[in-house]
Amino acid sequence: MPEEGGIMSRRPLLAGNWKMHMNIAEAEALASAIVRASIPEDRDVMLAPPYTALAAVGRVLAGSSVMLGAQNVCWEEKGAFTGEISPLMLQDVGCRMVLLGHSERRHIFGETDEMVNKRVAAALRFGLVPVLCIGETLDERESGHTFSVLERQLRSGLKDINPGAGNDLVVAYEPVWAIGTGKTASIEQAQEAHFFVRDLLAGMYEKNIATQMRILYGGSVNSDNVDSLMSQPDVDGALVGGAALKADSFIRIIHFNS
């Protein structure tokens, strides 16, 4: 559907972040169910399994339109980086996207904006689409700091980053207080934050890049609330945790509004 100015609208992206769930057999079964579901042609789907299941899920997704994603990537290609995963390793198993700066990485494992920025740069260098996750905690929201936190995380995460085109990079707004809590942001809160992020991007990059870049919402998205969230003009997709672990609920999410 053309938007104002004749620019084509952004292709919705429905992404499942499986976090630290699923053994290989479970991951293969879930990925197969999603591949078998007929996915409307006007949207993209991505699955981010745990590292141990990447290769197996990659084989299940091969030849389908569903993209493989990873949950993090190191800024180095190889070497003494125990516990990290190289962008070359992700390429090797067929990854196309990678989640970066997820709030669980930031808040449980102490990842800084500077580390996230190095990961974003590495992902782009190796042709992986970074999904840069940003979002405020409940304390930050209640003390009126939501927008300054989003601005800091966005500007630092994208420091010296030049996406070649609007679809080279994805931003995910995930308010920390909405993750895994069953407490979704209201559609007004989501739209307000997404609009703010797009406006910042428009100041950082050429306007058409900001217009084309997808901004996903994440935080207790489920089959009941996905339609209303996706009805918001600046919500271009969903990054789904818990509800992506069951085939029926994720397939319903993929079929939002259809």
CB of 240 to ligand 13P, least distance (A): 5
Residue 240 as a binder of ligand 13P (CB under 6 A): the answer is yes
**Measured between alpha carbons, how far is 119 from 191 in angstroms, rounded to an integer?**
27
Q: Which of 180, 189, 195, 227 binds ligand 13P (CB under 6 A)?
A: 180
**Is the separation of the CB atoms in 70 and 102 below 8 Å?**
no
Site string for ligand 13P, 86-115 (x = CB under 6 A): ----------------x-------------
Helix ranges restricted to H, 66-178: 87-92, 103-109, 113-125, 138-142, 146-157
Backbone angles phi, psi at 179, to 5 degrees: -85, 120
**Measured between alpha carbons, how far is 4 from 100 in angstroms, rounded to an integer?**
31
Residue 17 as a binder of ligand 13P (CB under 6 A): the answer is yes
CA dist list (Å): 209 to 27, 51, 125, 130, 205: 35, 31, 18, 15, 6
Q: 3-class DSSP state for residue 241?
A: coil
Q: Which of 174, 211, 223, 251 binds ligand 13P (CB under 6 A)?
A: 174
Residue 130 as a binder of ligand 13P (CB under 6 A): the answer is no
Residue 216 as a binder of ligand 13P (CB under 6 A): the answer is no
Catalytic residue among 111, 174, 188, 192: 174
Residue 124 as a binder of ligand 13P (CB under 6 A): the answer is no
Residue 219 as a binder of ligand 13P (CB under 6 A): the answer is yes
Residue 220 as a binder of ligand 13P (CB under 6 A): the answer is yes
Catalytic residue among 102, 104, 111, 136: 102
**Region from 3-11, 86-94, 105-113, 240-248 binding ligand 13P, contact rule CB under 6 A:** 240-248
Closest listed residue to residue 234, CA positions, set 184, 200, 183 = 200
| Element at 14 (helix H, strand E) | strand 13-17
Which residues are at the interface with ligand 13P (CB under 6 A)?
A: 17, 102, 174, 179-180, 218-221, 239-243
Active site residues: 102, 174
